[in-house]
Amino acid sequence: MLLLGPNDRNLRAMREAFPQLNIIARGEEVRVIGPGEQVETFLERFEQLQRHVVRHRELPRKVLEEILDSGDGGTGDAGTAEDVIVHGNAGLRVKARTRNQQRLVDAVADHDMVFAIGPAGTGKTYTAVALAVRALKERQVRRIVLTRPAVEAGENLGFLPGDLREKLDPYLQPLYDALRDMVLPQKLAEYLETGIIQIAPLAFMRGRTLDHAFVILDEAQNASLPQLKMFLTRMGRNAKFVITGDATQVDLPERVRSGLLPAVQHLRGVPGVAVVDLDERDVIRHELVTRVIAAFKAIEENDRPAEGRKKTAARSGKP
């Protein structure tokens, strides 16, 4: 069912990808008839699909199309139980699903400061939280600190009901969601109560020194350059810092410039610092997310020249 898809949806995609072949599925057997070279290529891609299903217990449409189109689908051939980052709740196994996610895992193992830059849905935060939970469980660190700027488009903390904690929690909800997938509810409540896991807005990091901690700054595109400098200089002994962000989704006021890309530009190549770039091929949400990202990317590329023409016209005094 996972391989061929509900109502043979994946099987139809296979037939469309290999129109010269006659692909027949009956029970647990698939028969392929056609030119020898095409059959060999199909068998190679079909085996890759099988490996993906066995490894991940799912076959997203995006992965299916990429494997059928060019092979591999960005997942690589490695994928054993040893690749699981952390075993979550209800049998959940969190692991790198794409090459760039695996690069993120490897970068965190080899570097103390890692930037993960990419669009929504590429697993930046989720992978980082999984690595943090693993480090805590293996006693590599004593605590996890998760933070993000309390910035949202068109929102203002002061207009939300409740005390400060109740005002801030909605901004930090994605971090809670990831933790709930990976830590048992009773244990998570205990960790939050004792401060072993701390979730706080970026502004609350000022003045702290974070020793023996796995620290994640999420939504870093909504931090200014001074804020990023403040955060990065909180690093103490035996600390891991992971900074995630999507440079295309900045929610800062127009007068405030995001510090993410300037920081990455100057820190890329610095010893001890790694930068992992993720893209649309790493999106692991609904297949439409990939198409939405591609559509908006095209809109932004079309708008850029127009903006440039307006600025030029304004400088020349022409209407």
DSSP 8-state symbol, 95: E
What is the count of structural domains for the chain?
Answer: 2
User: Burial, 192: exposed, middle or buried (Cβ in 10 Å; 0-12, 13-18, 19+)?
Assistant: middle
Residues 57 and 98 grouped into a single domain: no
* In 218-281, beta strands by DSSP E: 240-245, 273-277
Residues 24 and 159 grouped into a single domain: no
Residue 219: domain span: 92-285
User: Residue 86 domain-assigned?
Assistant: no
Residues 265 and 121 grouped into a single domain: yes
pLDDT at 282: 82
CATH of the domain at 118: 3.40.50.300
Contact present, 156 and 283 (Cβ < 8 Å): no
Residues 63 and 118 grouped into a single domain: no
User: Residue 19 domain-assigned?
Assistant: yes
pLDDT at 129: 95
- Each of the 319 residues of the chain gets a pLDDT tens digit; together they read 888 888 888 889 899 889 889 999 888 889 999 998 889 999 988 998 888 888 777 887 767 877 887 665 544 444 444 578 998 887 677 888 888 999 999 999 999 999 999 988 888 999 999 999 999 999 999 999 999 887 754 445 555 566 656 666 777 888 888 999 999 999 999 999 999 999 988 989 999 999 999 999 999 999 999 999 999 999 999 999 999 999 888 988 888 899 999 999 999 999 999 999 998 878 776 667 767 877 887 887 777 655 454 444 444 454 4
**What number of H helices and E strands is found in the chain?**
10, 10
Residues 111 and 61 grouped into a single domain: no
Residues 41 and 145 grouped into a single domain: no
User: Residue 47 domain-assigned?
Assistant: yes
pLDDT at 239: 96
Instruction: Give the length of the chain.
Output: 319
Per DSSP bridges, beta strands 113-117 and 213-217 are unpaired
Residues 48 and 99 grouped into a single domain: no
User: Residue 78 domain-assigned?
Assistant: no
Residues 276 and 164 grouped into a single domain: yes
Residues 39 and 102 grouped into a single domain: no
Contact present, 113 and 87 (Cβ < 8 Å): no
CB-facing half-sphere around the CA of 261: CA atoms within 13 A: 8
